[in-house]
A and B are shown apart, each in its own frame.
Chain A
Amino acid sequence: MRDSSIKTSIEKAIGEQPWLTEEVLHQMIRPHYKPNKEKRSLSKVLIPSVVTFAIALFAFILWNTETQPVQPEVAAFNYEAISNAIEDPQVENAFITYLKSIENEDYASFEAVSTTDLVASPKEVFEKYQTIDLDTFRLISVTESQGEPVTFLVAAFAYKDASNEVLKTYTVDQGDGTQMTVSEDFYGEYPEYTPFTFPETVTLNYEEIPTVQEISFHPDLIEQQASVGEEGTVSIAAFQDGEFDVVFATDQKSYYLTRLSVPEVGSLDVQPFMVQDTGETAYMLQAEGYGLIGVLFMDERIHFVGTSPEVVSASQFDLDGDGTEEWLLDDEGVQVIRFEDGAFQSAILQSEIRRDPFPDSVFTYNLDVPRGDVFIETTLLEGEKRVKYHFNSTELLQKVQ
C-alpha cells in the first residue's frame, strides 16, 4: 500500500488551491489563438495559387525531363562513417535502423525502434529532418552510460538554411534487453558546434626567464617557442621560474597565460572532451605520473585551470550514478573535481579549507542545484573544533560553526 502522506505532503508543498483558474486558462489560449475564419479566408487565396503553381511546376519538370535527364543529388546519411563510429553492433544496428526509417519515412520501422514518437509524431520528426543537410550529419561522440545500459550519441549537423553546425543528442536504450530503442532530444535548443583541433600531445619547452621573475607576456614570445599547433591554432611554451608557466594561444589574437606546477621536464597529455550541455570543447591536461593538472576551456570568455600540484590526499565519491567527484587536498586547499560519464564537468578550489587538519569525515550529496553543480557538506576539524562547510561547485555557501 502506498504512503498517502507523501501525496498529501506534495499537495501541501505545491499548494492546495486550484491552479487552472479562468484567468490562467484564457492566458494560455489567447496569445496564440487564430480564428478559423482567418484560415479559411487565407486558404481561399492560397489554394488556387498553390494549385496553379504546382501545375506550372509539373509542366516544367515534364519539359525539363524530355530535354535533359534529371540527375538529382539526394543527400543521405553517411551510414559507413556512422557505423565506424559506433563500436557496439547492437547500438549501431538500432541507430542505423532509426536513421534509415527517418530517411525513408518508414512509419512502421520508425515506431518499432523509436521512442521519440512519445514526444513527437513520426510525421513531425520526418519533416524536421527534411530541413537538415544530411551530408553534414556525423557522430562526434559515443558514450556508454556507466550506470545503465544506455548509450549517448552526439551528432553534429547543419540545417539546409544555415552554415553553422549544431549538436544533438541521441539515446540508445537497451531497455529490458530484448530490443534497443532510440530517442532524440527533439525540442532541445541545440548548442552550436565549433570544432577546435588540439594536438594529442604537446611538449613543454623551457626557457630561462632573463631578468624579471614576473612573466610579462609578449606576443612575439610565442613565435620563439616551438609551436606545436597546426595552422597557428595552438602554441604552448613553458618558463622555468620555480614553477613553470605555460602559455596557450588559441589564435593569433587571443592568448592565455596560466601557471601550472609541472614537476619536471616532460610532456603533457592533452585529452579533448566535450562539456555536456554546452557542447563546448575543453581539454584535460595530464603529466605522466601526475594525474590531472589542468582543465582548459578554449572559448572566448572562459579560461579555467584547476591544478593539483602536490596531492596530499585524494578521495573519490560516487554520486549515486550521477557521476563522481574527486576531492584532492594539497597546499592550496581542497579541490573538488566533478565528472559525469567520465567527462570533466567542473572544478573548484576552496582555499579556505586548508589541508591541515585533514577532514575527519567528508560526505557529499546532491541537492536541487543545476546539473553540473553539487551541494557539498563537509565536516573538518579545526584544532579541536568541528566545523561544517557547505558549498557548491562555484562558491562556499556557508560555514556552520
Chain B
Amino acid sequence: MNAQTDLEQIIRQHGEELLRLAYTYVKNRQTAEDLVQDVFLKAFVKQTDFRGDSHYKTYLYRMVMNRCKDYLRSWHYRKTILMEPFQGASSGRPSSDLSEDNAVLGHQVLVLPIKYREVLVFYYYKELSMREIAELLNVPENTVKTRLQRGRKQLKLNLERGGYDARFFYQNEY
C-alpha cells in the first residue's frame, strides 16, 4: 500500500463528515474543502508520530475545528465576509409549514455565534456526549451545558423574532 492509497483511505473514511463539520464553521463549500484538505495532509504527514491520547476521529475533529477558527480569525475571512450581502436572522417570511420550519431551523443553527453553534452541532448533529464535547473544546463540562442552553435560547429567540414556529423548544428539552 503506497502513500497515495493511505491518504485516500483516510479521506474516504473521514472526509464526508469532516467536510460537513468544516462547513458548519465557515459556511462556504470551497473553503471547507480547502481547509479539510489541509487538515488531512497535516494529519497524514504526522500520523506516525502522533502521540495524543484522544481517539483519531476526535483528533481530526479538533484539527478541523482549530483550522476553521484560525481561518475565521484571519483578515482574509473578515474582508471577504464584510463584502457579502448581509442576511439577518429575521429575514424571510413566517411559515406554517413544518418541513419549511425545519429547514429554517437548520439555517438558524448555522447563523448562531460560533461558541453556541459548535456545541449544538457536536451535540445534536455529531451526537457527541457532553463529556466528549468538553474534551474536544477543552472547556469544563458545565461550560458546554451552559453554552448549549444559551444556544438553544438564542435559537428560539431568533426563530420567534422571525415569526417562525419555535415549538421544538417546548417539546424537546435535552
Contacts and interface: CB of A to CB of B under 8 A. Distances in A.
A96 B30 CA distance: 41
Contacts of A111: 51-53
Contacts of B20: 14, 19
A187 B67 contact: yes
A370 interface: yes
Secondary structure at the B interface, as helix, strand, loop or mixed, is helix
A24 B33 contact: yes
Given A118-B59, A124-B49, A28 B33 contact: yes
B88 A390 contact: yes
A118 B39 CA distance: 13
B12 A118 contact: no
A159 interface: no
A362 interface: no
A118 B2 contact: no
A25 B8 contact: yes
Nearest to B154: A365
Interface string A14-43: 100011100011011100111110000000
Contact of B73 (A115, A371, A394): A371
Given A10-B121, A181-B138, A35 B70 contact: no
Interface string A149-187: 100000000000000000000010101100001010111
B-side interface size class: 35 or more
Interface string B17-37: 001100110010100010011
A352 interface: no
A188 B70 contact: yes
A301 B127 CA distance: 47
A183 B138 contact: yes
B57 interface: no
B49 A121 contact: yes
A32 B117 CA distance: 32
Interface in A236-275: none
Secondary structure at the A interface, as helix, strand, loop or mixed, is loop
A322 to B, nearest CB: 7
B15 A25 contact: yes
A29 B124 contact: no
Nearest to A400: B90
A2 B148 CA distance: 12
Contact of B113 (A32, A117, A185, A366): A366
A33 B7 contact: yes
Contact of A12 (B12, B51, B88, B102): B102
A365 B113 CA distance: 10
A130 interface: no
B110 A118 contact: no
A115 B35 CA distance: 21
Interface in B47-104: 49-54, 58-59, 62-63, 66-67, 70, 72-75, 77-78, 81-82, 86, 88-89, 102-104
Contacts of B78: 370-372
Contacts of B66: 119, 186-187
Contact of A11 (B106, B138, B140, B172): B106
Given A2-B123, A3-B168, A29 B109 contact: no
A148 interface: yes
Contacts of A186: 66
B99 to A, nearest CB: 9
A375 interface: yes
A45 interface: no
* Residue from A10, A28, A372 having most chain B Cβ neighbours under 10 A: A10
Nearest to A28: B37
A189 B70 contact: yes
Contacts of B158: 365
B173 to A, nearest CB: 9
A390 B74 CA distance: 25
Contacts of B29: 19
B106 A115 contact: no
Nearest to B14: A20
A397 B86 CA distance: 8
A122 B36 CA distance: 22
Contact of A375 (B15, B46, B88, B106): B88
Nearest to B3: A36
Contact of B51 (A1, A13, A121, A149): A121
B123 A370 contact: no
Given A9-B104, A320-B150, A367-B88, 8 more contacts: A2-B174, A6-B109, A6-B168, A7-B125, A25-B8, A28-B15, A29-B11, A173-B139
Interface of A: 1-3, 5-14, 18-20, 24-25, 27-29, 32-36, 107, 111, 115, 117-124, 148-149, 171, 173, 175-176, 181, 183, 185-189, 277-278, 320-322, 365-373, 375, 390, 392, 394, 397
Interface of B: 2-4, 7-8, 11-12, 15-16, 19-20, 23-24, 27, 29, 33, 36-37, 40-42, 46, 49-54, 58-59, 62-63, 66-67, 70, 72-75, 77-78, 81-82, 86, 88-89, 102-107, 109-113, 115, 117, 120-121, 123-125, 127, 138-141, 143, 150, 154, 157-158, 168, 171-172, 174
